Amino acid sequence: MIKVNGIDIDSDGKSFAGKSIAEYLSTTNFDMKRIAVEKNGEIVPKAKYAETLLAEGDALEVVSFVGGG
Amino acid sequence: MSNIPSKEEMLDALVLRQGAQNVQKLQAATVAVCGLGGLGSNVAISLARAGVGKLILIDFDTVDITNLHRQQYKACQVGMPKTEALSQNLKEIAPYLQMETHFARMTEENTLALVAHADVVCEAFDKPEAKAMLVNTVLEKNPEQVLVAASGMAGFDSANSISTRKVMKNFYLCGDGSSDVNDGIGLVAPRVMACAAHEALTIVRILCGMETEIAKKECKNGK
């Protein structure tokens, strides 16, 4: 099971294990310029989205910022 | 300006409200406020009133008439750099506050130098891309620095939907997470202030050692 923002993303039968964070993000509507990604409690540098692979048991948090301040 | 209380008188009054230990910790602290709009101007004033010793104020913009409904500026300050206008206003509120102002746009290149001496960095921008840039830059390059950010405070929804959560070590996020000014719902002063108050209180709690991770870090550093 791989969780993103508390939700299991592998629940539809397909698994993201072995896929990169960039590959996962490309399947979502997240705007790459507006997010910060944390994996298992550590920030993932933007430059490493393509090389950081997801593994069984990972918990990802994608913070997506909205406008206003 | 002749009847301004002395620094000692002001600190004594603050100690009565907040306690000597907390005031001591706040007085020793430096906070960088990044963006001086509806969030940042309110955060800065709250922190100054709470007794934070030094504020680093950063913004590239000037006061506009469309800012006056929610930002802590006066009508006579339209056209003035926000750094200058806010430091004027803060000086009247908290005459013994130390301030450093930077009339500059924050980028990946200059961010770390601008916030280097801050105990806590407050993200108070309005553009989501700028928010993400600051958060990613600080958390990637300076993971020991504590960051408090905000996302989602537009519109007329109840202030009860605004909250503070700890996303990870050293990273706190305030707001409702979703109400986007780009959806055309506008910004309403009290709701933006509620979010700014969440940020300011979180920063005060961090500086006073009331957030557990910080308390642990301080123990390790022998502070």
Task: Take residue B15 and report the two structure tokens written for it.
Answer: 């100690």
Contact B136 A43 (CB under 8 A): yes
Nearest CA in chain A to B192: A69
What is the CATH classification number for the domain harbouring A32? Answer: 3.10.20.30
pLDDT tens-digit readout, B110-151: 999 999 999 999 999 999 999 999 999 999 999 999 999 999
Q: How far is CA B218 from CA B32, B120, B208, in A?
A: 19, 14, 11
Q: Do the Cβ atoms of B49 and B93 come closer than 8 Å?
A: yes
Angle made by CA atoms B160, B165, B171, in degrees to the nearest 5: 145
Contact B128 A67 (CB under 8 A): yes
Q: Which DSSP helix (H) or strand (E) runs through B51?
A: none
Q: How far is CA B21 from CA B28, B135, B216, B220, in A?
A: 11, 30, 18, 19
Size of chain A in residues? 69
- What is the residue type of B205? R
Q: Is residue A50 part of a domain?
A: yes
Tell me which chain B residues have a C-beta less than 8 angstroms from the C-beta of A31. Answer: 128
* Of B48, B10, B9, nearest in space to B30 by CA: B48
Tell me which chain A residues have a C-beta less than 8 angstroms from the C-beta of B137. Answer: none
| Higher local confidence (pLDDT), A15 or B26 | B26
The residue range of the domain holding A20 is 3-64
Nearest CA in chain A to B125: A69
Q: Do the Cβ atoms of B168 and A61 come closer than 8 Å?
A: yes
The domains found in chain B, sorted by start residue, are 20-217 (3.40.50.720)
B/e letters for B176-197, b = 16+ CB within 10 Å, e = fewer, are bbebbbeeeeebbeebbbbbbb
Q: How far is CA B34 from CA A8, B55, B138, B148, in A?
A: 35, 10, 12, 10
Is the pLDDT score of A12 beyond 70?
no
Q: Is residue A59 part of a domain?
A: yes
Structurally, how many domains does chain A consist of? 1
Secondary structure of A43-64 in HEC code, one letter for each residue: ECCHHHCCCCECCCCCEEEEEE
Q: CB-CB: which of B124, B177, B180 is closest to A67?
A: B180
Contact B179 A68 (CB under 8 A): yes
Which whole number is the average pLDDT over A37-65?
97
Nearest CA in chain A to B140: A45
Which ranges of chain B have pLDDT less than 50?
A: 214-223
Please indicate if any CB of chain A lies within 8 Å of the CB of B40.
yes
Q: Is residue A69 part of a domain?
A: no
> What is the ipTM, given to two decimal places?
0.95
Please indicate if any CB of chain A lies within 8 Å of the CB of B122.
no
Size of chain B in residues? 223
* Of B35, B150, B40, B51, nearest in space to B103 by CA: B35
d(CA B75, CA B7) in angstroms, rounded, equals 29
d(CA B206, CA B212) in angstroms, rounded, equals 8
d(CA A20, CA A25) in angstroms, rounded, equals 9
